Amino acid sequence: MDMLNFHCGVSRDPRGVVTLTICNAGSLNILGSAVTDSVRAGLEQLATDASVRVLVLSGQSGKSLIGGADIKEMATLDQTSAEAFITRLANLCEAVRAFPAPVVARMPGWCLGGGLEVAAACDIRVAAHDAKFGMPEVRVGIPSVIHAALLPRLIGWGRTRWLLLTAETIDAPTALAWGLVDKVAPEGGLDAAVEHTVASLLACGPQALRAQKALLRQWEELPLKESVEVSIGAFGRAFLTDEPTRLMQEFVNRKQ
């Protein structure tokens, strides 16, 4: 594993799959300001690399993807510094959402608070069989903010209210049933489940996937009519690459 910076390790395989590992952030991969800024910087650096086909987001500790934001640091904040702290975390979540290739969250153990917000910004979430999820902010005197706003889109308003207002944790089967995660691995099978997801993504046209992710981001914010209209242009631009002709011909040849 190469280090982009002190908190951001990167490994790459020949297929264009890059794993970004959050490093040196404690036993639960906690997001203090330094960690948050470093991981965001690593993501922004990798985003300029057109050879990246899939990004897997992982934590150095097997106890969590991200255990949450740093409560010790937050306990020292005032209004001004609190807004600066949470803006850093928002910028990290946006770097995940804006990453041009699909981002897969590898989720062992705990994923809480700001960590769940980062995970919600990923495209696909793969959880261990014993993973736990929660939004405990109200129990330490603060509301859940920034990319917690993605949760109603994933799990609906009622379940979002339950998570944010009760601060209760849920287990992996519940998270799967709610749509908070996309796949739950059997015991000992997290890496295999992540690899299965990665293989499915690699079977697709890389430029088509990037175009699809960009459209999905637009669809999250646009009304239906505008969503349909912008997608027409995206469909046409796909034919500026060789992917449609090449991949469709391969499909036709297989059927003959």
Determine the pLDDT at residue 184.
98
**How many other CB atoms are there within 10 angstroms of residue 30's CB atom?**
25
CB distance 235 to 215 below 8 Å: no
Average pLDDT, the chain: 97
Per-residue pLDDT band at 254 (split at 50, 70, 90): confident
Q: 100-155, pLDDT tens digit by residue? A: 999 999 999 999 999 999 999 999 999 999 999 999 999 999 999 999 999 999 99
CB distance 93 to 57 below 8 Å: no
How far the first Cα of the chain sits from its last, in Å, is 44
Residue 171's Cβ-count burial label (10 Å; 0-12, 13-18, 19+) is middle
- Our CA angle for 58, 13, 238, nearest 5°, is 95
The answer on pLDDT for 193 being more than 80 is: yes
Q: 208-221, pLDDT tens digit by residue? A: 999 999 999 999 99
Determine the pLDDT at residue 183.
98
CB distance 138 to 81 below 8 Å: no
pTM, full prediction: 0.96
d(CA 122, CA 180): 11
Q: Which residues pair with 171 in a beta bridge?
A: 132
Per-residue pLDDT band at 60 (split at 50, 70, 90): very high
- Three-state helix/strand/coil letters over the chain: CEEEECCEEEEECCCCEEEEEECCCCCCCEECHHHHHHHHHHHHHHHCCCCCCEEEEEECCCCECCCEECHHHHCCCCHHHHHHHHHHHHHHHHHHHHCCCCEEEEECCEEECHHHHHHHHCCEEEECCCCEEECCHHHHCCCCCHHHHHHHHHHCHHHHHHHHHHCCCEEHHHHHHHCCCCEECCCCCHHHHHHHHHHHHHCCCHHHHHHHHHHHHHHHHCCHHHHHHHHHHHHHHHCCCCHHHHHHHHHHHHHC
